[in-house]
Amino acid sequence: MNKHITKSHHSIQLASAIFAGLLISLPTMLQSAQAQQQTVNRPGSKINPCPSIFYEEPHNNRVPVPQGCPANAFTNRINSSSSPSSTYNSNTGITNTEINPSSSQIQQGVGGEAPNSNSMTQSSTSQITVVPTNRYNNAVAAVSPTNGRVSILLINQTNAPIIYQAIGDTQQRILPGRSQITLQNLHTPANVNFYRQDRGLLMATPRSSRQGTLQLTLQETTDFAMDKTSLRIENNGAVYLN
C-alpha cells in the first residue's frame, strides 16, 4: 500500500515538473513566433521580380517583360523585328532606334511624294532589307503599270506615325497618323516596307484606284495573323503582302 502511494506521489511530482517547464518556456516560444512573423511581413522582404504571368498567354505575346527579366515571346519579336536598327532592352525597358528625322527637303518625281504631302523625310544608318519574293503569299490585288512604273497612295488610318521606305527609290520616312502620301513613279518590281513607330500591329488593305496607281490603307489590328510589314508589286502588276 505504501509503495502504491509513493509511486503516485512520484507521478504527481513528474507531471508538476513538466507543467512548470511548459509555463517557463511559453513566453520564449511566443517571442520566437512573433519574430518569425515580423520577418515574413517585413516591408523589405524579397518579391519575385519576374512573375510567371509575363510568360503565360495572352501576356506572353502582348506585354514586354519587366526590367531585368528574361525575354518572353513579345520581347523576342521586338528584338527580331524587320528594322535592323531597333531593339528592345529588357534591362532598361526602352526600345532603342537609330531612326532620326532629317531636315533634307522632300524629293519630287521618281520615288518622291506629291506636293500636298504631309510626310516627313528621315535618314537612317541602315537600309531596310528587301524581303525575298518566295516569302510572299498569293497575290492579293493587281495594278496596271505604266511604262514599267507604278504609284502607291499610302493611307495611314492609325493614330501612330508609320515608318516606310520604297526600296531603291526613297530613304526611310515618317508618315504621321491620320495622313496620306503618294509615292510616284516607282520602278517595278517595287518593294515597300512599313511598320508602326510604336511597334503596334498593322493590317494592310490594297486596292487598285486608277491606271497605274495602287491604294494601300494601313489600319490598327490586334490579330497577329493580319499583321503586315511589306508590299511587293511585280512587273506584271501582281500585288503581294507579307
What pTM value is reported for the model? 0.49
* The pLDDT value given to residue 127: 46
Query: Do residues 169 and 184 touch, judged by C-beta distance below 8 A?
Result: no
* The pLDDT value given to residue 21: 64
* The pLDDT value given to residue 126: 40
* The pLDDT value given to residue 81: 58
DSSP sequence for the chain: -HHHHHHHHHHHHHHHHHHHHHHHHHHHHHHHHHHHHHHHT-TT----SS-GGGGSTTGGGTSPPPTTSPP-HHHHHHHTSS-TTEEEETTTTEEEE--EE--SPPP-STT-B-TT---EEEE-SSPPPPPPGGGS-S--EE---BTTEEEEEEEE-SSS-EEEEETTT---EEE-TTEEEEEEEEESSEEEEEEETT---EEEEEEEEETTEEEEEEEE-S-GGG---EEEE-TT-EEEE-
Query: Do residues 154 and 218 touch, judged by C-beta distance below 8 A?
Result: yes
DSSP sequence for 20-82: HHHHHHHHHHHHHHHHHHHHHT-TT----SS-GGGGSTTGGGTSPPPTTSPP-HHHHHHHTSS
* The pLDDT value given to residue 137: 60
* The pLDDT value given to residue 107: 39
The 10s digit of each residue's pLDDT in 122-163 is 444 344 445 554 555 689 999 999 999 999 999 999 999 999
* The pLDDT value given to residue 162: 97
The CA distance from 150 to 182, in Å, is: 11
Q: Which residues lie across from 88 on neighbouring strands?
A: 95
Q: Which ranges of the chain have pLDDT less than 70? A: 1-17, 19-47, 80-137
Q: Which residues lie across from 146 on neighbouring strands?
A: 149
Query: Do residues 162 and 197 touch, judged by C-beta distance below 8 A?
Result: yes
